[in-house]
Chain A
Amino acid sequence: MSSPTPALLWEIWRQHRWTVAAIAGLTLVARVIDVVEITGRAADAGIESSPLVTLLAMVAFLLLFAVFNYTDSSGGRGVGQFPRRLFTLPVTALRLVAVPVIAGITSIELLYLLWMGPLSRSGSASAPFVAVLLAAFVVFYLCALWTLERTGSLRLLVLGIVAVALFAIGLLPSFPPAPPPPWRSEIVLASVVTGLALFAFVLAWHHVARLRAGGDVHRAESLLSGIASAAPTRRRAFANAAAAHFWFEWRSSGMVLPALVVGIVLLVIMPISWLVRHDPAYTSYLLLLALASPVVLAIPVGTAFCKPAFWSEDLDVPAFVAVRPLSSADLVAIKVKVAAVSAALSWLVVLVLVTIWLSVWGNLDSVSRLAIQLWAFHGHSVEVVYGIAVLLASSGMFLTWRFLVSRLWSGLSGMRPLFVGPIVAMVMLVFAGLAFNAGRLPGWLLEDPARLVPFVWMAAGAVIAKYWIAAYAWRSVSPRYVRLYLVIWLLATISFLALGVVLWRILRIYLPLDVDRSRSLVILVALIAVPLARMGLAPSWLARNRHR
C-alpha cells in the first residue's frame, strides 16, 4: 500500500468481504423481488413495498453496521473498543477516526441509493433528509462504540435511544400542521442533526487521540464518579445480607428500566404530544406508545437483567456476588423483587407523566370516545371503566415484570448456548414473521373459526407441560419461596385472565369468532403467560454456575 488510508480501507474490506457480498446479494435479490411484485401488482393496489423487501432492507442495513463495527475485542472482558493496534501506524489520530467514519457514511449512502426505490415509497420524509439522518447515525454509532467502551452492553441501549430519537426527528416534519413551522422543516432539522454529528465526530477524535497519547481515558467516568460521590448516599447499615444485596442489585440493574422509560416518555413522546396537541387522532397513538414503552423496553433490558451481572457480557457469577452469605434461591428472589420494583416504578413514572400530559395539553376527544364506548358497552358503569383502566395498568406492570424475569433461568445458568439460543430463536421468529407476512394471520384465523383448533390444543399442551415441569422444578426450593412466588403468580395470572376476558367480551361481538374456542384460548394463554416452571429452575441453575 502506498499510503495508510487505502491500507485502513483494505483492512475493513478484508475482514468483512463476505458480509459485503451478503449485503450485495440481499440487495440484488430484493430489487428483483420488488420489480416482480410491482409488475404483477394490480393497478389499484397500494404502492408500499412488500414486508419481505422491507425485511431484506433491514437485514442489509444491519449487516452494514456490523461491517463498520470498527472495534477490537479487549482482552478478557470481551468488550469491543477502538483498535489499539492501529496506534502504532504512522498516521494522525484524525485519520484513524476519519477513515472508518467517512467509509461508513459513503457505504450507507451508497446502500441507501440502491434501496431508495422500495424504501421511499412508504415514507413521508424526502430522500436527502433520510440520507442525512443515516449518515448522522453512522457517526453516532461509531462515536458510541469508541467513547463508551467501558459501559459494555449499555452502548446498545444508548444506540437504541439514538435510533429512536433520529426516527422521531425523521417524522417531525410530517406532523400537523402542514407545512410545518420553520424549526420543524427538514432543512433546519438536518442542519441540527449534522451539527450534532460533527460534535460527536470531534468527541470521538478527541477521545481516540487521548487514548493514543496514554492520557486519562476515563475522564468522563471520573466526572460521573464525582457526581455520584456528591449525591446523597446511603449511610445506614443494612439490616441483613439480603437487604444489602437488594440495594446492590437495584443500583446496578433495577434503575435502568425506569431511567429508560423516563427518557423515552420525556424526550420523545411528550415533545411529540405537544407538537400534535391540536389533533385528537394522535392522542390515542401516543398514549398507546407511552403505555407500551415499559413493556417493550423490558424485553431488551430483561436480556441484560437476567444475567449474573447486568453490565458484563460474561455469564459467570462475579466473585463479589458468589461469596455473598445468601443461598442461590435468595439471590434469585432478590432479582425477582428488584424486577418488581423496577416494573412498578416504570409504570408509576409513565402514569404520572401521561396524567400530566393529558391534563395539561392533551386533546382528549379520542380517549373520551373510547371511554364512552366502554361505559356504554358495560351497562353504563363508570366503575367498570375505571376498573378496566386499573386492570390495563396492572397487567402492563405484570407483563413488564414478566419480561424482566422470564429468562433468569438461562441467564443465571452461565451456559451461553442456553442464554443465546432463545434470543436467536426469537429474532429468527420475528424475521420469519415479517418474511411470511404474519400480519395476515389474524385475518386468516377469522376466515374459518375451525382454524383456531390447533392453536387451542397447542396452548393446552403448553399449560400441561408448564405446570408439571414447575412441580418438578420447585421440588427443592424452600416452601417459603414457593408460597411467596405462588402469590405473585396468582395475582399476575388473575390480572392477565381478567384483562383477557374483558377484551374477549368486546371482540367477540365484533369479530366472527367461535366464542367457546376463543375464550378457551384466552384462558389458556393467561395460564401460560406468567413464568413458573422457569422460575423454579433458576435457583438450581444459578447454584451450578456459582459453585463450579
Chain B
Amino acid sequence: MNTPLATLAAVLSVLALYLPTRTQTFTRVTVDGRSIRMLVAGRGEATVVFENGLGGPLELWGKVQPDVSRFARTVSYDRAGAGLSDDGPLPRDGRRIAAELRAALRIAGIAPPYVLVGASLGGPYVRIFAGMFPDDVEGMVLVDPTPDRGQVDEGLRTRDVEAAVAAGFRELESLPDTLDQSRASRVPNRIPVLLIDAVSPIEVPFATEAIRTMRMNNRPEIEAESLEYREWLATIPGSRLIVTNRSGHNVAQEQPELVIDTIRQAVKETR
C-alpha cells in the first residue's frame, strides 16, 4: 500500500459513508385527496409561512428559509400544481389557494398565528389568506408582490397567459379574479405589514446596448408599481415600505439577506 494514498483513502471513505446519510426531510400532507409537499424547519415562537410566486418549487426560498429557521419555525410548500405537489382543482384562484394552504397547515399540525411571506404572485395570495382568515395571521412580508392594479396588462390577458397555461401554469387563467379578490381583502388590524419594493439597479455590468434599452423601457412600469405600493401602504397603519435598488424581481435569490432581515423585523414586531 502507498501510505499517503491509503491515508487519503481512509479519510475519503469516511466522508463517502457519511455523505449519503445527509438528507432533507419533507412533510407530505393530503388536502382533498391531493398530496402537497412541505418543508418544515426551525424552532421558535413565531411561525413563518412562505408563499411562492408563480409555478416555482419551495426551493425558491432556499437562500432564505435556513436563516429564518434560526429564529422561527418555518414552512415552505409547493402549491398544488407546482414543484412536487399534485395538481389542484380548477379554478386556481386566490381564495382556493388560500383555503388549500390553511387546510395543509392544519393537517400538518402547524397551528396559527402565522407570519406570511409572499413573493411576486404569492403577495396577492397571502393578502387573500389574511382577508379570509384574519385570526390566523400576525404579520405579513410582501416581497415585490404582483400589484393588484385595476387593469391586468393586456399581455397577461392574452398571449402570455396562453403560453403559460400551456406550460402548466393554470393559476394565470384565474389571475384577474385573484387580483380582484386581493384588492377586496382587508388587512387584519394592527399586524405588521412590510413590503419590499425591488426597483432593480439602472446600470448593470455586462449589459449590451439592446439590454440597456430594454431595461430603460421597463422603468415606467417599475415606477408605476412603486407608486401603487406606496398608495396601498398609506391605507394600512404601521405598514412599512422597504425600497431596494440592489435587486430585481427575484429578491429572495438576489438579496436574500434583505428578505431575512425584513422577516426578522416582522417577527420581532409580533412579539
Complex CA distance for A456 and B24, rounded to whole angstroms:
14
Please tell me which one of the listed residues B83, B210, B247 contacts residue A512 in the complex, with CB atoms under 8 A apart: B83
Which B residues touch A438, using CB under 8 A? none
By the criterion CB–CB under 8 Å, are A369 and B211 in contact?
A: yes
By the criterion CB–CB under 8 Å, are A508 and B59 in contact?
A: yes
In chain A, positions 484-527 with a C-beta closer than 8 Å to chain B are 486, 508-517, 519-520, 523-524, 527
With contacts A372-B211, A509-B62, A513-B59 known, is A467 near B19, CB below 8 A? no
Complex CA distance for A375 and B211, rounded to whole angstroms:
15
- Asked whether any CB of chain B lies closer than 8 Å to the CB of A274, the reply is no
In chain A, positions 229-244 with a C-beta closer than 8 Å to chain B are none
With contacts A372-B204, A447-B84, A512-B59 known, is A475 near B2, CB below 8 A? yes
In chain B, positions 196-238 with a C-beta closer than 8 Å to chain A are 201, 204-208, 210-211
Complex CA distance for A280 and B208, rounded to whole angstroms:
11
By the criterion CB–CB under 8 Å, are A368 and B207 in contact?
A: yes
Which B residues touch A468, using CB under 8 A? 6, 9, 13
- Asked whether any CB of chain B lies closer than 8 Å to the CB of A470, the reply is yes
By the criterion CB–CB under 8 Å, are B247 and A376 in contact?
A: yes
Complex CA distance for A516 and B248, rounded to whole angstroms:
28
- Asked whether any CB of chain A lies closer than 8 Å to the CB of B163, the reply is no
- Asked whether any CB of chain A lies closer than 8 Å to the CB of B124, the reply is no
Which B residues touch A376, using CB under 8 A? 204, 247-248, 250, 253-254
By the criterion CB–CB under 8 Å, are B208 and A365 in contact?
A: yes
By the criterion CB–CB under 8 Å, are A514 and B23 in contact?
A: yes
With contacts A372-B206, A512-B59 known, is A377 near B253, CB below 8 A? yes
- Asked whether any CB of chain A lies closer than 8 Å to the CB of B90, the reply is no
With contacts A368-B208, A471-B2, A472-B1 known, is A515 near B24, CB below 8 A? yes
By the criterion CB–CB under 8 Å, are A509 and B60 in contact?
A: yes
Which B residues touch A368, using CB under 8 A? 206-208, 211
With contacts A372-B206, A475-B1 known, is A524 near B16, CB below 8 A? yes
- Asked whether any CB of chain B lies closer than 8 Å to the CB of A131, the reply is no
- Asked whether any CB of chain A lies closer than 8 Å to the CB of B58, the reply is yes
- Asked whether any CB of chain A lies closer than 8 Å to the CB of B78, the reply is yes
Instruction: Using C-beta atoms within 8 Å of the partner chain, give the interface range for chain B.
Output: 35 or more
What is the interface size of chain A, counting residues whose CB is below 8 A from a CB of the partner? 52
With contacts A372-B211, A449-B24 known, is A460 near B2, CB below 8 A? no
- Asked whether any CB of chain B lies closer than 8 Å to the CB of A10, the reply is no
Q: List the A residue with the shortest CB-CB distance to B84.
A: A512
Which B residues touch A448, using CB under 8 A? 84
- Asked whether any CB of chain A lies closer than 8 Å to the CB of B271, the reply is no
- Asked whether any CB of chain B lies closer than 8 Å to the CB of A95, the reply is no
- Asked whether any CB of chain B lies closer than 8 Å to the CB of A418, the reply is no
13 A-B interface contacts by CB (under 8 A): A364-B208, A375-B206, A376-B247, A446-B84, A463-B13, A468-B6, A471-B1, A471-B5, A471-B6, A472-B2, A475-B1, A513-B59, A515-B59
A interface with B by C-beta (< 8 Å): 280, 364-365, 368-369, 371-372, 375-377, 380, 382, 385, 446-449, 453, 456-457, 459-461, 463-464, 467-468, 470-472, 474-475, 477, 482, 486, 508-517, 519-520, 523-524, 527, 532, 536
Extra contacts, 7 of them, besides A372-B211, A377-B254, A463-B15 (Cβ < 8 A), are A376-B248, A385-B205, A467-B5, A467-B8, A468-B13, A482-B5, A517-B22
